[in-house]
A and B are shown apart, each in its own frame.
Chain A
């Protein structure tokens, strides 16, 4: 298991979530993705950064109440994210972001003792690891939706698009 890319502050640290948001923004900038690129680009950038595959299976039928999503680390150290099939695409994307947050925070191992080597989203936030992962997922999804809502007309030429980006206001992490 590699070192976590995103280190959550101590549970009692003042301004804990502000610091976590700041660190998350820095990580996303380092990953080289724009908020308007969408969640799939974040998954791909993270996979490239940690140097392994992150596969998503969005056709898994988990019983309810229970898991919405599960991350499993294969013997080849690749990640497979299983997502509840019986929900909307938007909800599935959020579940994937929650699992991605666990990978960023390096909190996939802790869940392994119970069931398997991986982690899961159940919607229960009584422990800090789940709460932090959900905070990261909600922050990313909130940023991406705000950035997409405020998006200006897309430039057809890549050079012109770069010029436009240099003049645009900063929304989300970029």
Chain B
């Protein structure tokens, strides 16, 4: 395959792959409640994830070490275990939310309750991980995720006041009737959705397993630098259509169907069908990534064999952990806990664990004994440190704000 084609494929996969149930829920929810006043958070999140994804991929390409190898080596067994426990817990709950998201998309398409779809979805995720060639699958759902471009189409067809939207986004202000703490709470939720750690676990583990050298790193940088911002733009488009259609009518997003309402209004039934394909692909793809990430983190901490390309008998402990996390996540979503609420909670709670994951990456990216001349340049350090401060702030504010606002009421 020509290099240009493969890079394009990578970028397109990154766009669709950027969005999962976290962005779908928080994007439309904040658009409906706060207009575009939180669009800047998406921008911040995109910058942060670009930096840390690139660093973790660079570390993987140069040293052959994935994120949790680094965490264990740099933080040691005790702090590393604390990090592992938090990350694994967040991973499992995120997996439950993604499975719920897939099931909700199927419910919207079929009128059959999402609870009945959940077991089927779980089995499907397992079958893909167990048997099907992962590389091809990744491209398929990545490209199908592009169906979410229907958000952009819907936005254009709604003929919004572009100037007004731009003003809202560039002059962030808490809308009248909403409290400041709630606004900041949802800022953390949006930020959390953009930089959920499973993305870096998955990205760096894939880089190690596929044996990336500096050459693949260049292509990966293209994916990251072009794909993630476009994914962020897609999230803002979703926010915008919610702002245009739902906010004036005071409609809040409690169910995934409401997230799709603006598309129905602007593009009609065909638009909704396309959107559901996109929902399905984005959440299903994410579910696979999160399930694998649960295995990656534990296997890397303990020094087990791991790999999505390995046959299960070659990495039995790794696949057992993935299976276990899938079972627990499925059980969690079957308790009939509201999947949308669960998503809101997990993106905020995962913010608490962020610094533990991102700090070691920044440290190792600076280690010249490890990376030689591939260590961070000054400008990247400056930016990444600023981001780390933001990440730390979000992590410290998450729980207090959750309590103060009663989880965003």
Q: Is the A/B pair a real complex?
A: no
Q: Which residues of B contact A (CB under 8 A)?
A: none
